[in-house]
Amino acid sequence: MNKYYIGLDGGSTYLKAALIGRGRVIDTMVRNTGIDNDGTARKIAKELCKRNSLSASDIGYIMATGYSRKVLEVADDDISEITAHAYGVRLTAPKEYRPGMIIDIGGQDSKIIYLDSSYGVKNFSMNDKCAAGTGKFMEVIAQILETTIDHVGPLSLQATNPCDINSTCVVFAQSEVISLVARKYNRCDILAGMHISMAKRIIKMMKKSEKGGDILMTGGGALNTGLHHAFEEELMRDVYIAQYPQFNGAIGAALIASERG
Amino acid sequence: MEPFYHTLKRIYVDMAHAETKKNQKTIGTYCVMAPPELIYASGAVPVKLCSGNYTAFSIGDDIAPRDACPLVKAVAGFKQTGLMPVYEDCSMMIVPITCDCKKKIAGMLSERCEVTTLHIPATREDKDIEAFMNQLYDLMEKLENVTGNTITYQSLSDGFRKVGYAQYELSEFIRLKKQMPYLIRGSHAMAILNSASYMPADEWGKALHKVNLSLEKRIAENKTVTSKKLPRIMLTGSPIVFPNIKIPLLIEEMGGIVAGDETCMGERGMWDPAVITDNSFDGMISALANRALRPCPCPTFADNSQRIYRLKQLIKENKIQGVIYHVLRGCLVYDFEYRRIEEELGKLGIPVIRLESDYNEEDIEQLRIRIEAFIELIKLKQAPEKVMTVRKDF
C-alpha cells in the first residue's frame, strides 16, 4: 500500500525533507546540501524511511522544490517554492487561521503569497535582486553585533528605544549598523531597529488590493520572535506562525506528492 | 518562418543593411505612432529602431542617466558606436515624444542624423487630432526634402495599400493564431511581429501570407504544436523588442503559451488600420492622425481607459488565464498603470504579475521562478493526474 509521501526542499545551504502520511506530518529532517545535491537527497530519503520503519515501496511519490529542485533526480517531479509553500500551510497553519496571506522569510529571498479561502494561490510577490529582508541579512547583522541568529529575536525584545535603520540594502545597512555600534547604541535597540526595517520593507511589497484573510509567517525567519513582533507592530494586527516553519516548503511538496501518487 | 528569421539574423547577427531598392532611402522610426504610410508615399522605407540589444544597452548605460529605461539606453548605445547599419543608413529619424526619455534621446540622435519629433498630446480630442495633422503635414514636407520625391495623392494611396495589405495578413494571422489547440507558438509569432520592423510592409505581408497558408494547411491536416492544455498567458506592458525576448521564451519553456500580447512591438503595432472616411488628400492625413492617436492604448495618454477595454477584449478573445505585466526598469508610464490594471483584471478573476526586467541575462533565474510559479498557479486550478508505480529503491 502506498500511503506515504516525501517532500524535498533543496535550499541553498540546507536540504529539508518532510514525510507525510494520512494527511499529517510524520517526520522532518535536515542536512547540509553539500555539493552532491541528489546524493544527499537519496540519503535523507533513506534515513527518513529507516527512522520510521518504512521501505521504499511505501513511498508513493516524491516531490522536489527549492533552489536545487531540478537536479534532485530521486524525486518524481518538481514544483516551485511558491506553490509548495502555499500547500504547506494547509498542514502547518494554526486551526484558527483563515487563509489570506503568507509571508515567507527564507535564507536568500522573501516572498508574499496570497491565498483564496480554499488555500489556492491567487498571486504572489517576491523581493527583487536584494538580500535585505532575508535570513542572510539577519545573519550579517547578528555577526556584527557578536551574537548568533538564534539570539537576535529574544535580544531585540529587550529593546527600550529601537534605532532607526533606513537602508534597504544589506551592505549599506551593515555600515549603518557599524556606525550605530560606534556611537555606542544598545545592541538590543539596534536589533529591534533592524527587525522593524525588515518588516517595513516586506510590508511595502504587499499588494494593497489583497486584503482578505489572516497573515501567516513561514520560513526560517518565522522563528525569529523579534521579527514576528515587528510585523505585528507595523501591521497592527495578529500575525500567525506556521508549525515547522523551516519545513513548510518540504511539507507542501509532500502534500502535492500525495495528490499525484 | 524562413524570411522572418532571415531578416532578424541579417540585421542583428550579420549586421547588414535593411533591404532596400537602389537609391531608396530608409527612415528610422521609434514608435508605432509614426505613420509608415507617409514614409512609403515618399518612396522611402521605414525601419523601426526601438531596440532590445544587450550590448548596445551596456554601452548606453554609461551615456544615459541611471534611471533611463533600457530601450533608450540601447538606442544611445547604438548611436555612440555607430556600428549598426540599420541606424547609420537612416536619412532621417522620426521620434514621437511619448515620454521624457524619448524626448532627450531625440536630442542626442540629432547630433548625428536629421531628427523630426512628433509631439504626442496628453488627450485624444478633436483639437489634438487637428494639431497632429498639422505635424504630419510638416513631416511630409521634410520627407519630401530628404527623399527628393513629392508625396502625391497617388503615392499616398499606394502607401496605404502597402500597409493595409500587411495589416490584412496580420489580422488573418491573429485569427489563425487563436485556434485551439495551437497551430503556432506565441514566441514564434512574436518573432514574426518583431521582424516587421525591418522589412518593407508589402514583403512582410507576402511572407506572412505564406505563413497563413501553412497554418490553414495545419488546420486541414490537424497538425498542432501541442496537444496539451497549456496555460494561456497574455503579455502586456513595456515593449518586448527583439533580441530581448527572454520573457516569451521563458513562458513557453516553463510550460505556458503566449496566447496574446498587448505590447507595441507585438499585435498593437499594426492592429488598427487607418480608416479613410473622406477621399480627399486631407482625409487621408486625417485618417493617419486618427489612427495614430485614437485607438492607441499607449500609457503616454493621461486617460487610458481604453487600454483596459482592449485588454479585456483580448482576454475574452484568446481565453486568457493569466496576464504577465512586463515593466522595463525606468519605464514609468507603464509602471504607473499596473495598479489599475491589476485591480480591473482582478475583478474578472484573472491573476496578474508584474515582472520588472532589464536588458541583461543576469535576471533570467529570477524571472524563471516567477514565471514558473505563475504558470503552476494556473495549472493547479486544473485537476492533477495520478501516477501509480512501485518504488524499489531511492
Write the DSSP assignment of B213-238 as a string of letters. HHHHHHHHHT--S--S---EEEEEES
Q: Cβ of A22: how many Cβ atoms within 10 Å? A: 8
- Identity of residue A101: M
Q: What is the spatial distance between Cα B238 and Cα B236, in angstroms, rounded to a whole number?
A: 7
pLDDT in tens, B336-350: 999 899 889 989 989
pLDDT of residue A147: 92
Query: In this complex, is the C-beta atom of A117 within 8 Å of any C-beta atom belonging to chain B?
Result: no
Which residues are CB-neighbours of B355 under 8 A, at least 6 positions away? B247, B324, B325, B326, B327, B367, B370, B371
pLDDT in tens, B240-288: 888 888 999 999 999 899 998 888 887 776 667 888 888 899 999 999 9
pLDDT of residue B129: 94
Q: What is the spatial distance between Cα A63 and Cα A41, in angstroms, rounded to a whole number?
A: 11
Query: In this complex, is the C-beta atom of B349 within 8 Å of any C-beta atom belonging to chain A?
Result: no
Q: Is B373 close to A80, i.e. CB distance below 8 A?
A: yes
Report the residue from A2, A56, A260 with minimal CB separation from B394: A56
Q: At what angle do helices B186-195 and B246-253 cross, to 10 degrees?
A: 160
Q: Is A123 close to B377, i.e. CB distance below 8 A?
A: yes
Q: Is B363 close to A120, i.e. CB distance below 8 A?
A: no
Query: In this complex, is the C-beta atom of B272 within 8 Å of any C-beta atom belonging to chain A?
Result: no
Domains of chain B: 14-146 (3.40.50.11890)
Query: In this complex, is the C-beta atom of B390 within 8 Å of any C-beta atom belonging to chain A?
Result: yes
Report the residue from B370, B377, B390 with minimal CB separation from A126: B370
Contacts 24+ apart (CB under 8 A), A174-177: A174/A140, A174/A141, A174/A144, A177/A141, A177/A144, A177/A145
Give contacts of B324 with chain A, Cβ < 8 Å: none
Provide the Cα torsion B373, B378, B381, B386; round to 10°: -60
Give contacts of B339 with chain A, Cβ < 8 Å: 208-209
- Identity of residue B120: I
Per-residue pLDDT tens digits of chain A, which is 261 residues long? 558 999 999 887 789 999 999 888 999 999 988 888 899 999 999 999 999 999 988 998 999 998 888 899 999 999 998 999 999 999 999 999 999 999 998 887 888 999 988 888 888 888 765 666 788 888 888 999 999 988 999 999 999 999 988 776 777 888 888 999 999 999 999 999 999 988 988 888 887 767 788 999 998 889 999 999 999 999 999 999 999 999 999 999 999 999 887
Query: In this complex, is the C-beta atom of B392 within 8 Å of any C-beta atom belonging to chain A?
Result: yes
User: Quick one: pLDDT band at residue B17, thresholds 50, 70, 90?
Assistant: confident
Q: Cβ of A43: how many Cβ atoms within 10 Å? A: 18
Q: What is the spatial distance between Cα B261 and Cα B264, in angstroms, rounded to a whole number?
A: 9
Q: What are phi and psi of A245, to 5 degrees?
A: -55, -40
Query: In this complex, is the C-beta atom of A259 within 8 Å of any C-beta atom belonging to chain B?
Result: yes
pLDDT in tens, B142-196: 999 999 999 999 999 999 999 999 999 999 999 898 887 888 888 888 888 888 8
Kind of pairing between the strands at B92-97 and B114-119: parallel
- DSSP 8-class letter at B197: G
Q: What is the spatial distance between Cα A39 and Cα A22, in angstroms, rounded to a whole number?
A: 28
Interface of B with A in 309-348 (CB under 8 A): 339, 342-343, 346
Give contacts of A134 with chain B, Cβ < 8 Å: none
Query: In this complex, is the C-beta atom of A211 within 8 Å of any C-beta atom belonging to chain B?
Result: no
Q: What is the spatial distance between Cα B54 and Cα B360, in angstroms, rounded to a whole number?
A: 6
Query: In this complex, is the C-beta atom of A260 within 8 Å of any C-beta atom belonging to chain B?
Result: yes
Give contacts of B356 with chain A, Cβ < 8 Å: 128
Three-state DSSP at A157 gives helix
Q: What is the spatial distance between Cα B31 and Cα B333, in angstroms, rounded to a whole number?
A: 15
Query: In this complex, is the C-beta atom of A128 within 8 Å of any C-beta atom belonging to chain B?
Result: yes
Q: What is the spatial distance between Cα A83 and Cα A218, in angstroms, rounded to a whole number?
A: 13
Q: What is the spatial distance between Cα B369 and Cα B364, in angstroms, rounded to a whole number?
A: 9
Three-state DSSP at A145 gives coil
Nearest CA in chain B to A42: B394
Three-state DSSP at B245 gives coil
CA angle A18, A23, A29 (to 5 degrees): 10
Which among A243, A197, A194 has a CA at the least distance from the CA of A219?
Answer: A243
Q: What is the spatial distance between Cα A59 and Cα A3, in angstroms, rounded to a whole number?
A: 7
Domains of chain A: 4-83+248-260 (3.30.420.40), 98-241 (3.30.420.40)
Three-state DSSP at B316 gives helix
- Select from B377, B379, B388, B389 the residue whose CB has the most chain A CBs within 10 Å, as the one to mutate to test that interface: B377
**Section B333-362 average pLDDT:** 90
Q: Is B372 close to A80, i.e. CB distance below 8 A?
A: yes
| Total-model pTM | 0.85
Interface of A with B in 144-183 (CB under 8 A): none
Query: What are the strands of the beta sheet with B92-97, ordered from one edge?
Result: B45-48, B26-29, B92-97, B114-119
pLDDT in tens, B19-59: 777 788 999 998 888 999 999 999 999 998 888 888 889 99
pLDDT of residue B3: 82
